[in-house]
Structure 1
């Protein structure tokens, strides 16, 4: 690793800010500056248009500690987000620039995490910070942390890289300029990465699923412009067709339809510029257009994450993640990298190798200094189930999670599942998982192509459904150690569906809870022949697993059985209406109440109609 980053220039573009928010930002910067030892210089561009707001910015900059050498600039107008940062770029001197929105605060160790990563990868231009309470849902690689684009709210960027591509696009006033900058950087060979351990609290949404008119309109305009710059005529045509559909849809805020119509003409005024400028960038980056998105999105965009200010890490429960592997260290490496990137700070990683210690050298050399990892091999081959049992018995965590060596966890997996389980008083929680159809080119080195991502299981917890089939991918589940102590581990004679047998036993007396957020990935073969052979083994194992279920005993009251059946019916049907609920609806709804009061007359009329039908006696 190269020397740690010693200094950063902090760039903040203001617009009509509240003084309280500015003070909170400055306090968090000062706290993290002292914690990390990084020297910070504060550069502020003020786009505010009112004299009161400008005076607030002046007072804030004047009150900043001398260590920040804070300065403010303005030109009397509003240059927009990108334009303001371009203006500050001319005054920046540090090799690394930290761009922060005015309405956020830094979480503990945010600068320290940035400092470590910025010093370790020479081909990375940008490290994007994680946003709380709502993480941006776009996809990223859980192991390498590469992201298709980065959010402009909070990120660290190399000054040389930003200068190389000319900074932000000045013709994008707001929203989407960060996507444009990311794609131009990637076209020049730079990587853009996400750093979930470096977090900020961003006060951008007043409530979940809030619709922001300016974001909706300006973001749509930018999407069309980027289609012209990075895409082709087909991309532009599809964008305009989507715009036409949006215009015809019901308005989600006043003025939406008229704003979209005006947007159509605004786009055509910009089209020649973006189409011509695309000659330099078109086809060179990783640009993609998925409807109005620029990448795949994970489910759970508005899952709430709490701030860690004031939280003592030592007081958090220890979570043991158990990784079973056998003689493929290059595959294992990716799984362990996804664990090293977890945002939950108290992890124990148990790597158990079924057989000879093939991966020991790699694990100890690459991960022993990065996380709390324990490796052991069984020596002789004992099977994946027995290997998992030995790891569970040796694990020290109060909570446990499995991760097979060819699967990955997104960085928030442990954090979000543990928070949900604790808040709801459950002994198990599971998230949504992507099933990834994958073509493997080589296992050493590990080279592959992900062809498709699908959320196959979105099943709220149901015991009856669990007894019928497994809807819990093994890596998706976090469970309490007491379940292992009560019910034991895997059935050692099972080499397929051993996790299904485990979950049926662990949920005999304890409910699990589903979190509707995509927190993990598991691979399945894309090759049809391999799929068929794999499915054949699973079909054989299914019958044995059913036989194992027949050995289980469960005592329930009639009321509990009725509740169980009711939950199952509701989970398996699109609409579930009982006779009592239907009767209640007819008795209480005004339009139906009149019909219900005259039900005897209706019945008599129906009988007469049946008697008049041909063929009736």
Structure 2
């Protein structure tokens, strides 16, 4: 295969973020790049403007808001159609349209992939807009560690379970982790195809945790590569309706945990998890709505 790299981004009225995403892409790699915008129903005209402005961009309309993972799967399948399919790389990028690329960030990820032949997913260091490092490389959420993070985290942010889960007290280093933020991933096609891509039951949230878990179970690695850096303005999506997004996060969390504790004998555990998540969701959603109401005054 050639060096041509496919970059998939899911658009849903991305606004000016999309232009910054595409404009900064030239800083990330010297390779030939094709960007597939998997559009979930944008109404702001940004994907159409990008299509006119950037010759290496393709627009694929999904026909509805199908969710993040489903839109990615559709775009990856689309990239394999036609005569050009034989010319694409063994890797592809999945990234949110509110990402801005750091210098050589994609090339650095590809160099790391050569050092980690069993890496199914590789992720960069992610900075928030204020320059702080986002904890994008984490352990899988075990029942105790993940449960304590979920229940105690909103009340005691510096608790040891959250710190351990997020690996927040570790210095950035290239290493294998449990999962990587889906806001920017270099994915090996063979690994992605082996596990049938993203689980399409997840509309939003936890699809990256699930992907990392299933890659690990299939014998692949999730590798954190902090020498590659991006900036992620994640508030552009969560800011639209934080209460709705928080509720969706808890729904996806239950789907993830119920899958991992699916035996009939674990039914009481699933009931407990569901009740705890419902209580937590009620608390954080109410808080989010109060903040929204204050912001409108």
Which category describes the TM-score, using the shorter chain as reference length?
0.7 to 0.9
Query: 1:111 & 1:247 partners in 2: Cα distance?
Result: 36
Q: Tell me the alpha carbon deviations over residues 98-138 of structure 1, each in whole angstroms, 9 at most, x when there is no partner.
A: 11101110012212311210222111111112211243332
Partner of 2:178: helix, strand, or coil?
Answer: coil
Q: 1:39 aligns with which of 22, 32, 36?
A: 32
Partner of 2:64: helix, strand, or coil?
Answer: coil
| Matching of residues 191-590 of structure 1 within 5 Å | 191-205=221-235, 212-232=242-262, 233=266, 235-246=269-280, 249=283, 251-254=286-289
The 8 Å contact of residues 49 and 77 in structure 1, kept in 2 or not, is answered as no
User: RMSD in angstroms over aligned alpha carbons?
Assistant: 2.7
Structure 1 residue runs of 5 or longer lacking an equivalent are: 257-617
- The reply to whether residue 157 of structure 1 matches residue 192 of structure 2 is no
Q: CA deviation at 1:163?
A: 1.0
Query: 1:249 & 1:41 partners in 2: Cα distance?
Result: 43
Q: CA deviation at 1:145?
A: 1.2
The 8 Å contact of residues 172 and 222 in structure 1, kept in 2 or not, is answered as yes
Query: 2:119 & 2:279 partners in 1: Cα distance?
Result: 39
- The reply to whether residue 7 of structure 1 matches residue 41 of structure 2 is no
The 8 Å contact of residues 41 and 62 in structure 2, kept in 1 or not, is answered as no
Task: Give aligned pairs, total.
Answer: 240
User: Residue 112 of structure 2 aligns with which residue?
Assistant: 117
- The reply to whether residue 189 of structure 1 matches residue 182 of structure 2 is no
Q: Tell me the alpha carbon deviations over residues 345-401 of structure 1, each in whole angstroms, 9 at most, x when there is no partner.
A: xxxxxxxxxxxxxxxxxxxxxxxxxxxxxxxxxxxxxxxxxxxxxxxxxxxxxxxxx
Query: 1:218 & 1:26 partners in 2: Cα distance?
Result: 29
Query: 1:230 & 1:172 partners in 2: Cα distance?
Result: 15
Partner of 2:10: helix, strand, or coil?
Answer: strand
The 8 Å contact of residues 129 and 154 in structure 1, kept in 2 or not, is answered as yes
Largest Rg, 1 or 2? 1
The 8 Å contact of residues 7 and 96 in structure 1, kept in 2 or not, is answered as no
**TM-score by structure 1 length?**
0.36
Q: Tell me the alpha carbon deviations over residues 22-73 of structure 1, each in whole angstroms, 9 at most, x when there is no partner.
A: 111111102333xxx22211111111242xx2x3312212211x4x3x2111
Q: CA deviation at 1:247?
A: 6.0
The 8 Å contact of residues 161 and 185 in structure 1, kept in 2 or not, is answered as yes
Query: 1:30 & 1:164 partners in 2: Cα distance?
Result: 30
Structure 2 residue runs of 5 or longer lacking an equivalent are: 80-87, 136-165, 292-297
Query: Structure 1 pair 238/185, CA: closer, same or farther in 2 (3 Å)?
Result: same
Q: CA deviation at 1:162?
A: 0.8
Query: 1:227 & 1:193 partners in 2: Cα distance?
Result: 23
Query: Structure 1 pair 59/143, CA: closer, same or farther in 2 (3 Å)?
Result: closer
The 8 Å contact of residues 8 and 40 in structure 1, kept in 2 or not, is answered as yes
Query: 2:65 & 2:224 partners in 1: Cα distance?
Result: 30
- The reply to whether residue 72 of structure 1 matches residue 59 of structure 2 is yes
**TM-score by structure 2 length?**
0.73
Query: 1:31 & 1:236 partners in 2: Cα distance?
Result: 46
Query: 1:24 & 1:136 partners in 2: Cα distance?
Result: 20
User: Residue 48 of structure 1 aligns with which residue?
Assistant: 41
Q: 1:168 aligns with which of 198, 203, 206?
A: 198
Query: Structure 1 pair 243/56, CA: closer, same or farther in 2 (3 Å)?
Result: closer
Query: 1:177 & 1:249 partners in 2: Cα distance?
Result: 23
Query: 2:201 & 2:42 partners in 1: Cα distance?
Result: 20
- The reply to whether residue 90 of structure 1 matches residue 77 of structure 2 is yes
Q: CA deviation at 1:248?
A: 6.4
Query: 2:173 & 2:126 partners in 1: Cα distance?
Result: 19
- The reply to whether residue 139 of structure 1 matches residue 167 of structure 2 is yes
- The reply to whether residue 103 of structure 1 matches residue 98 of structure 2 is yes
